[in-house]
Chains A and B, each alone.
Chain A
Amino acid sequence: MFLGVDTGGTFTDFVLFYESGFRFHKVLSTPDDPSRAIEQGISELGLNAADLHLVHGSTVATNAILERKGVRTLFITNKDLEDLLIIGRQTRAELYQLTPAPKEAWIKHEDCLGVVGRINADGNEIELMDSDALKMITRLLEQGDYEAVAVNLLFSFLNPEHEQQLAAVLPENLFVSLSHQVLSEYREYERGATTYLNAYVGPLVQRYLKRLQHELAPKHLFVMHSAGGVMAADAAAAQAVSLVLSGPAGGLVAAQAVGQQTGETKLLSFDMGGTSTDVALINGAPSMTTEGNIAGIPVALPMLDIHTIGAGGGSLAWVDEAGLPQVGPESAGATPGPVCYGRGGITPAVTDANLLLGRIPESAKLGGSMSLNREAALEAFAVYGEKIGIGAEQAAEAVIHIAEEHMAGALRLVSVERGFNPADFTLLCFGGAGGLHACALAEKLAMNRIIFPVASGAFSAMGMLAGRQQGEFSRTRCLKLDDESTVASLAELYAELEQEAKAGMQGLTLQFEHRMDMRYAGQGFHITIDVYESDRVNLHKNLKQRFEQAHRQAYGHSLKRPVEMVTARLTAVVEQAAVTFPKLYSTLDVGQSEYSDVYGVGHVPHYQRDQLSAGFSCKGPALIVEATSTLWLSEAWQMHVDVSGHLMLKRLL
């Protein structure tokens, strides 16, 4: 049996996949030790852990970084470059700010050490490693309470000898991350930060997964990584930093699976929560990036390209000094939360506006149990509306419009930045608050279809089951496509990477996907191109052509310049049968259960989602209600329940 488990901030979600279908379960998370919630869930589901193939989305790495609770880590780099991570890219965060707050230091100066010894840009040693430095490191480690060491030397991706020499003298009880092993690619700052974070969270991830393995003893334990694949738990610690998007990656993998099943291959995923909204583009496959970051610290490992917008249901409404209504970026957060939660919030939020206008039915319960206070929302908006000279409902409507304008702008920008027109995509909406705004956003972006998938409340956990077991390997080499030796170098490079993959994923039958980061000589950026077996002997005919075609599509032109191959990438995949969404059981035919008033629209019907059977369809306006979210189906939209229970929305033109 396959069990997907996603640990979230509030709930731990479970999706069990067995012969006849899915089972879902939710328990409150236990942040001090996330494994307790997992044990509880397994026992409540009546399962025997020893039967389980368990795939886990973990926040251990992410939280340790966000809360600065990783282990004390010594950062070793070349002498006179000790401040590399402290200087970063030398930019300031806010352009028009004369009196900025001090920058929060994520690494301390006293934890950075430089050693003599230098490798040059050809990979040659031009200065010997200083043996006195090695003694100094040993002394430092004896004095400080270090649990981990990160080593990041210049050009380690061309010649790792100095990093290996250092590693050889480090005490065995320390967790060690070497930059050529974590990320064998150029750009010392991004590689260095990634290596540092890996060491910083590595011991925590290692302890956590060991304990989970030990206490639960499932048949197999896998974790989802940021690239949307899964890896064996005992291999995860060495690549701990690759877990930073462990949970969100699950959502995107599930989105892709829904897309494949429904035949929609171009999706814009939209996951709107309380304080922020995650969006991503899936064009056949989700787009990847090597320019990700967490809390402003770069993580240059290949990961799913998920863009976070600072707007959600908790975004607060305010009026600026010129009398213009504004929404966000400040959010009510979980405490006090929107006014209608009745936990002391007094500033109205987007959620309050939805409740006041009747788009969230008054009968809805927060998290399935807590009632919402519409009266309080009304009062807050009456006060707010007075400031801009309009009534409470009009003010609430204005706040929703402004919030939607922000989100539409962000969605448009995310698409344009990646070279796509949102009008060519289908909006795939999951997460708590998205359904209230999906129709309006789609209209603003000229999108004609929306999917509201099954299990949207436990979507990431669902994705855990759909992830392929895969590992990412890479090495920067900077080869010139025109050089005669390149064909041989390329073969050698990929052979090395395949060896590395086999060593790292022992006992598995691997399939390899080869890719190459390519660019025109002199460019500061690259495009990642698929490399097939046949390309490797005829670089000009195939690879160059494919690169130029991709360049034209992405940037609108190609150039008469030599082409360089910068970084070779290898994805090693274990093929497995895809998880499919089973057919929805037809339940009793349901009429509309209730009607209520929606401001500006009138009397609209409610449908309980869990009572809708496959084939059901209706036209907006209507509300589709489920335990954790509400879908506002506005006029000009038609909804249809497909065979698996996905809600398929089509715009009536």
Chain B
Amino acid sequence: MSAVELSLFSHRLAATCEEMGAILKRSAISPNIRDREDFSCALFTRDGELIAQAAHIPVHLGSMAFAMSGVVGLFDWQVGDVVIFNDPYLGGTHLPDITIVTPVFVELELTAFAATRAHHADIGGATPGSMGVETRLEDEGLIISPRHWFAAGVENQELVELFFARVRAPEERMGDLAAQRAACQLASQRLNAFESDQLESMFASLISISEVYGRNAIASIPNGIYRFEDHLEDDGCGSTCLPIRLTMTVFDEQVSLDFTGTAEQSMGPVNCPMAVTAASVFYVFRCLMPKHTPQTAAIFHAVSIMAPEGCLVNARAGAPVAAGNVETSQRIVDVVLGALAQAIPESIPAAAQGTMNNVIFGGGSQNSEWVYYETLAGGMGAHANAAGLSAVQCHMTNTKNSSIEVLEMHYPLRISEYSVRKGSGGNGVYRGGDGLIREWQVLENCHLSLLTERRLTQPYGLQGGEAGKCGRNRLFRNGAWSELPAKGSVVLLAGDRIRIETPGGGGFGLAVGNEK
């Protein structure tokens, strides 16, 4: 196969994934999928190796690249099959992320797979939104191990009944799932423009050339052993200062990352299945590759990851994971970047805010329950050429904010402040980006859940740059401020104000009075 044909084919596959995204976004029902675009679409070889993906959500890219081969091997695939799963320990990430996989048959040959993964607004957890602090995976929501939603075109009624029994707003869920399935079907149509053996040989060529991008990126890192350690400050259930420890060995075009020495898995929901850990590591290495790199699993072939079973970043099945995806993943990124900064200091930024600041309000009565979820931006780390960006989503997420007017029109909430948190970025030759401040007043009694980090530890600076400021969660009641925990739930009374100050990014370079 010629380089020209391969280039054309690679673009065609990427465009197909973009088209899948367009179909999913158009036909999904929930705002989280439609407006915040918390979903991803991908294509796989018949062995479950990622061969193309649209650039949507970083945590989805890496986790699908890592875990799909185990899933596709479980079935004897038939035309008309649709498989569904969300089990974090069998290919998933956290329970709200539901994945739909369909086989692609070309000339009656099983040739490829299409998959879509989307964050659903609820999956039947103990708290509305299914993002609370629980101690067992089953309390976080419905666990779906890989199984047929459709078997040879026939819908699995038991599964549908299970959804209606367990999940909040089941019609909305089923509508979103139907959108995911429609996106997969489009991919099947597009791939049928090719012949089966033609696809097979092009997949093989694309995989082998993809490895070049990965190897090139690693070859530019000097050989050596680099160590770094940072901490999660707590698990929401009493354990504090949980180390994530990394020994990274770079040898020519290979890198291995060993997380031995990382804290044991935790009682609270900060655990990561291996797929999420891999996604975080892959995100960092993907950033070191050029923009036009094809999104295949093969670009990560030269990256190997080891983590002791039962530790925070390779938890055993059954451990709760809701915050692993949204908080621990950010810290893993900090740790990998910290190690890389010793090797290639000019390419690595200081730490970003290191949290997604998950804020969930919920209330109402039986028939008018409401849930409101958002994640807040913060400061990015400064780097060798510029200050960090202020008030933006960092690393593993990039979802939009909610309009204040939309929020106030639909929920008993009022925004009393939304501003850049000036001076929160770390000082340096280049300053870290500033975090932001968001303050809500609640107009009726309700619940608040928080999953936040970097409230005690600071995002590190590099090359003499100072650390960014910690974040802060506070409650204003009866004329006085009090501190709120980084993770956990509180009951709020009408009139209370909640103020979240998000962390600033770390600074870069030792400041000597000429900061930029």
Contacts and interface: CB of A to CB of B under 8 A. Distances in A.
A101 B386 CA distance: 6
Contacts of B409: 121, 186, 478
Given A121-B409, A154-B405, A560-B171, A324 B287 contact: no
Contact of A325 (B4, B209, B288, B387): B4
Contacts of B237: none
A482 to B, nearest CB: 16
A109 B422 CA distance: 11
Nearest to B516: A102
A98 B22 contact: no
A243 to B, nearest CB: 26
Interface in A398-424: 398, 401-402, 405-406, 409, 412-413, 416-417, 419
A39 to B, nearest CB: 46
A319 to B, nearest CB: 8
A388 B4 contact: yes
Interface in B91-149: none
A83 interface: yes
Interface stretch (B245-253, B395-403, B488-496): B395-403
Contact of B4 (A96, A186, A321, A401): A401
B48 interface: no
Contacts of B10: 324
A320 B292 contact: yes
B302 interface: no
**For this complex, into which size category does the number of interface residues on chain A fall?**
35 or more
Nearest to B36: A524
A122 to B, nearest CB: 9
A401 B9 CA distance: 11
A321 B348 contact: no
Contacts of B55: 95-96
A46 interface: no
B392 A90 contact: yes
A322 B212 contact: yes
A479 B69 CA distance: 50
A469 to B, nearest CB: 32
Contacts of A390: 2, 4
A81 B417 contact: yes
- Binding site secondary structure of chain A: loop
Contact of B8 (A97, A109, A402, A417): A402
Interface string A92-121: 101111111111000001000000000011
B87 to A, nearest CB: 27
Contacts of A99: 347, 349, 383-386
A553 B34 CA distance: 17
A80 interface: yes
Contacts of A187: 403, 405-406
Nearest to B35: A524
B384 to A, nearest CB: 7
Given A81-B419, A83-B391, A416-B22, A120 B15 contact: no
Nearest to B403: A187
A413 B292 contact: no
A89 interface: yes
B225 interface: no
A557 B175 contact: yes
A154 B404 contact: yes
B175 A96 contact: no
B209 A322 contact: yes
Interface string A535-557: 00000000000000000001111
Interface of A: 80-84, 86-87, 89-92, 94-103, 109, 120-121, 154-155, 186-190, 320-326, 388-390, 398, 401-402, 405-406, 409, 412-413, 416-417, 419, 478, 522-525, 554-557, 559-560
16 contacts: A84-B418, A92-B392, A96-B58, A98-B348, A99-B347, A99-B386, A120-B408, A189-B403, A324-B3, A324-B6, A405-B11, A413-B15, A416-B19, A416-B22, A417-B26, A560-B171
Given A321-B216, A409-B15, A409-B18, 14 more contacts: A87-B401, A89-B400, A90-B391, A90-B401, A96-B58, A99-B347, A320-B290, A322-B209, A322-B216, A388-B3, A402-B4, A417-B26, A525-B34, A556-B182
Interface of B: 2-4, 6-8, 10-12, 14-15, 18-19, 22-23, 25-27, 29, 31, 34-35, 55, 58, 171, 175, 178-179, 182, 209-210, 212-213, 216, 283-284, 286-292, 337, 347-349, 376-377, 380, 383-387, 389, 391-394, 398-401, 403-406, 408-410, 414-420, 436, 439
The 7 A-B residue pairs whose C-beta atoms are closest, nearest first, are: A409-B15, A524-B31, A90-B377, A322-B212, A80-B417, A398-B4, A99-B383
